[in-house]
A and B are shown apart, each in its own frame.
Chain A
Amino acid sequence: MSLSISLTINGQARTVVLDDMRVTLLDLLRERLDLPGTKKGCDRGQCGACTVLVDGRRINSCLALAASLDGAEVTTIEGLADGETLHPVQAAFIAHDGFQCGYCTPGQIMSAVGLIKEGHAQGDPERIRELMSGNICRCGAYQGITEAILEAQKAMTEGNRRDAA
């Protein structure tokens, strides 16, 4: 049995023929679509390394079956930068040393982008720390992560104001 689904991945329309209904979105991206930037840390929704945006919302891609996502719009870490221009969250992670080994970083950044978009961060470090607690960083780069999100949120809010003006 096979199923054909249509996805928009990082702005690109893709038609995927699934020969196996067990394929998760994470494994689809990594093993079948050559998008290995999204990482597998636990494969059961406990670590957040596989976080991507589906229709603008943060999800653990290891817990989503690809077959259930026909028509979805998916954004992964590979699709975040605008050409060579980094997304403000990406730039802030570098500036604040918000990572060490870098393995959880794609998930951290996608979670951060999602929560800023959803208006949750609101410049409050405590809220950010709580809302980012679904993303484990074993190296312990949490302080830099929190600072990076605060700065990126500020930059994005100011950018939006400028755009609106």
Chain B
Amino acid sequence: MSLENVPTQSRRHGSNAGQPLTRRDGLLKVTGRATYAADNHPEGMLYAVAAVSRIARGRVTALDVAAAKAHPGVVEVLTSANRPPLAHDPDEKMPPFGFRVEVLQNDEVRYAGQPIALVIAETLEAATEGAALLDPRYEAAEARTDLANGERFDVAVVGIGTPARTAHGDIAAGMAAATHVTEADYVTPAQYHNAMEPHAVVAEWDGDRVTIDMPNQAMALSCAAYAAYFGIPAENVLIRSPFLGGGFGSKAILNGPQILAILAARMLKRPVKLVLTRAQMYGPVGHRGHTWQKLRIGTDSEGRLTALHHHAVAATSSFDEFLEPSANASLPLYESPAILVEHEGLRLDTGTPGPMRAPGEASGSAALEVAMDEAAVACGMDPLDFRLANYAETEPGTGRPFSSKALRECYFEGAKRFGWAGRPLAPRQMRDENGFLVGWGMGTAVFHCPHFPAEARATLRADGTALVETSGADMGQGAWTALAQIAAEALGLDPDQVEFHSGVSSLPDGGIAGGSGHTASAGLALNNAGEDAIARLAAIATADPASPLFGAGNIGVVARSGRLHRLDDEGRSESYVEILARAGQSEVIGTAKAARDQESAARHAMFSHGAVFAEVKIDPDLGQIRATRLVGAFAAGRVINPRLVRSQYFGGMIWGTSFALHEEAITDRRTGRIMNADLAEYHVPVNADVPSLDAILIPEDDPYVNPLGIKGVGEIGITGTVGAIANAVWHATGVRVRRFPIRIEDLVIGRS
């Protein structure tokens, strides 16, 4: 009997998915035993410290290498003069995620913070001092820092391979048919990921094989890319990334400094550790690019959209392109007979931007949701009623059905929990007991559902436990726990009986931990590997005359609590232990490669949705703004672990709060340097900044997105929240701020 003929029905029987288990890696993380890249310390290790440019454009004319080398403990100084060759040209892109990088290929400076030398020493202190002694001299050119002096250019693609322009219907006719057109400009700043763990690498060579400890969101792609740079086969690169101290998109892409450290380790034949300083994370490791967006929303007398036009100028570097796909945020959400989204590029002297938590969706949603609020005001409508009047039953423009869409439930449940019904329409109507202005605002949240190809292996062992393996990474989303829950369910075991291995590139390729797609992608692979193992076990049992399951091959079996049961007679069953023991097998191994069903994907629009409601309180004299309450209701398909999902939503909502009120990289126009490249001046929310948070998990059954029905929850929380807070600020004060983050001076002086 072939394996394919044995029907199995493990799913949703004896399920542990859906349970709010605590994190399996919790014990390691609270005891300091979770190992992050920079915690490694191989024998004979050297320390590398990067020296980075203090100018934003020009070239390095001199470096005092002799002074650095003379410092006790300094072993070597890598500069463009002596850097050993690489097998890949760093100015050649390596799609999809291989950007141009700065690895001392010449003396040119393309942005402030670019590596201009790497000092390697016996101690961290000596390497740090050596880098300081280099005393670089420059020939500086004027830095391009803003819309005023950057170079505009036309773009064909934005984000990673997304069309830069999409048109549905006749936008001019739609505008002409409108009784009112709301038009406004919005600006979002450059933002930096600022994961708590700085980018780090510990590299150790053994002949032409290299072991790299580094936080990494895309291991298989990275192995291939490092292999190309070092002229070795991809299987000679071993990346270990058991834990990432935050990724947010910044640890999926190769950067120059890490390549230099790996190169130094090969050159010096000793392990090398490089950890970027916090300040050095504001250049070579990506950021969310600056955007300037224009929205035009045409509405008729009923408050229905007649046209939606979203234009965005997205900043990138002078030498590479990652365009924040902001305007695309206007595609999936609101019904309109005409929609036009388009992008232009702007070249600035910065490091190349990259994907940062909800790339495009975050900045685009910020502008769109404020514009929708303005349009609602123009129509004299409640912002929630206005959105419901423009609810898209099918994907706007294409008419494709959504694979599932419980957004209406999100609106209703969120509004109910928040108490939205009592909201006065006009601004500046509410005060709290201290006389602070109170405002309520809302925004719609949306995020697409990518699915990355992934592989996994599940081994059922003679003792009735299992080992499941996939290379995917945990960066805080709870992969160790949620993925183990999925695998346990497929294997008909309790999660405690399932050992979970990940975080090493030699394991089956877990795909990319990003795009909110890791649980669905790696999860489906693990599920399928588990089902494969059960099918193999069932084949053994049903072919064995000594088994109570003998002959059940055509009827099928179900795996539950470590036993296989006949589907038509659950009383007839046998444990995994008994089946394997009688077969004399120590284990049975299931494998799987999983990817999205392209046909289903073509037929359906696939998105997670949500609604966020915000309250702010503002000092009427000082303009001080505090977000005091956030309620988010989200529908994102099947929830594997509500505890972890709620934490993801909270994290996203805090990022939204940060976008709305806190974070911004400020560039000195004279020098092109970022003036606040540290965690004191680049504001991210601290505990006391965070409002009371409530996340409602709206049930949603999605039979199309993937066989598990899982969407994604990592990024959606930031969308909707930014607009909700900005709209609450307007509702409190009557001042419409169209530049993020919203600051005290916007309200006191009326900057916008």
- Asked if A41 meets B30 with Cβ closer than 8 Å, knowing A46-B680, A47-B679, the reply is no
| Pair B246/A22 contact, Cβ less than 8 Å | no
- Asked if A135 meets B246 with Cβ closer than 8 Å, knowing A105-B29, A143-B693, the reply is no
- Asked if A101 meets B244 with Cβ closer than 8 Å, knowing A20-B123, A138-B196, A143-B650, the reply is yes
- A9 CA / B23 CA spacing, docked (Å): 29
- Asked if A36 meets B41 with Cβ closer than 8 Å, knowing A41-B197, A138-B194, the reply is yes
Q: Decide yes or no whether A114 CB sits under 8 A from chain B.
A: no
Interchain nearest-CB distance for A12 vs B (Å)? 15
- Asked if A38 meets B32 with Cβ closer than 8 Å, knowing A27-B125, A47-B196, A143-B693, the reply is yes
| Pair B688/A129 contact, Cβ less than 8 Å | yes
For A127-139 the 0/1 string (1 means CB < 8 A from B) is 0111011111111
Q: Which residue of B lies closest to A77 (CB)?
A: B32
- A139 CA / B684 CA spacing, docked (Å): 11
| Pair B31/A80 contact, Cβ less than 8 Å | yes
- A41 CA / B275 CA spacing, docked (Å): 10
Q: Which residue of A lies closest to B717 (CB)?
A: A140
| Pair B245/A136 contact, Cβ less than 8 Å | no
| Pair A94/B686 contact, Cβ less than 8 Å | no
For B393-420 the 0/1 string (1 means CB < 8 A from A) is 0000000000000000000000000000
- A90 CA / B47 CA spacing, docked (Å): 32
- Asked if A139 meets B246 with Cβ closer than 8 Å, knowing A90-B30, A100-B651, A145-B687, the reply is yes
| Pair B32/A76 contact, Cβ less than 8 Å | yes
Q: Which residue of A lies closest to B678 (CB)?
A: A46
Q: Which B153-185 residues have C-beta < 8 A from chain A?
A: none
Q: Which B675-709 residues have C-beta < 8 A from chain A?
A: 678-680, 684-690, 693
Contacts of B248 in A (CB 8 A): 138
For A1-33 the 0/1 string (1 means CB < 8 A from B) is 000000000000000000010110001001100
| Pair A103/B278 contact, Cβ less than 8 Å | no
Contacts of B474 in A (CB 8 A): 101
- A61 CA / B246 CA spacing, docked (Å): 21
- Asked if A105 meets B30 with Cβ closer than 8 Å, knowing A42-B679, A100-B647, A139-B476, the reply is yes
- A97 CA / B197 CA spacing, docked (Å): 19
- A38 CA / B196 CA spacing, docked (Å): 13
Residue in B29, B653, B684 whose CB lies within 8 Å of A136: B684
Q: Decide yes or no whether B146 CB sits under 8 A from chain A.
A: no
Q: Decide yes or no whether B243 CB sits under 8 A from chain A.
A: yes
Residue in B124, B198, B244, B247 whose CB lies within 8 Å of A31: B124
- A78 CA / B31 CA spacing, docked (Å): 6
Interchain nearest-CB distance for A140 vs B (Å)? 3
| Pair B23/A41 contact, Cβ less than 8 Å | no
Contacts of A140 in B (CB 8 A): 650-655, 685, 690
Q: Decide yes or no whether A56 CB sits under 8 A from chain B.
A: no
Contacts of B26 in A (CB 8 A): 93-94, 99
- Asked if A94 meets B22 with Cβ closer than 8 Å, knowing A103-B196, A141-B647, A146-B687, the reply is yes
Q: Decide yes or no whether A58 CB sits under 8 A from chain B.
A: no
Contacts of B574 in A (CB 8 A): none
Residue in B246, B678, B690 whose CB lies within 8 Å of A129: B690
Contacts of A133 in B (CB 8 A): 686-689
- A81 CA / B28 CA spacing, docked (Å): 12
Contacts of B244 in A (CB 8 A): 101
| Pair B36/A103 contact, Cβ less than 8 Å | yes
- A46 CA / B22 CA spacing, docked (Å): 30
| Pair B30/A94 contact, Cβ less than 8 Å | yes
Contacts of B644 in A (CB 8 A): 97
Contacts of B246 in A (CB 8 A): 100-101, 103, 138-139
Interchain nearest-CB distance for A40 vs B (Å)? 7
- A41 CA / B194 CA spacing, docked (Å): 9
Q: Decide yes or no whether A34 CB sits under 8 A from chain B.
A: yes
- Asked if A90 meets B693 with Cβ closer than 8 Å, knowing A97-B644, A141-B651, A142-B654, the reply is no
Residue in A44, A95, A101 whose CB lies within 8 Å of B196: A101
Interchain nearest-CB distance for A153 vs B (Å)? 15
- A134 CA / B680 CA spacing, docked (Å): 10
Q: Decide yes or no whether B25 CB sits under 8 A from chain A.
A: yes
- A107 CA / B648 CA spacing, docked (Å): 21
Contacts of A106 in B (CB 8 A): 32
Given A81-B31, A99-B30, A140-B650: 4 more A-B contacts, CB < 8 Å = A22-B128, A93-B30, A101-B245, A109-B30
- Show 6 residue pairs from A and B whose CB-CB distance is below 8 angstroms, ordered by the A residue: A23-B125, A40-B198, A42-B679, A94-B22, A94-B23, A130-B688
Q: Which residues of B contact A (CB under 8 A)?
A: 22-23, 25-36, 38-39, 41, 47, 123-126, 128-129, 194-198, 243-248, 275, 277-278, 474-478, 643-644, 646-648, 650-655, 678-680, 684-690, 693
Q: Which residues of A contact B (CB under 8 A)?
A: 20, 22-23, 27, 30-31, 34-44, 46-47, 49, 76-78, 80-81, 86, 90-91, 93-95, 97, 99-106, 109, 128-130, 132-146
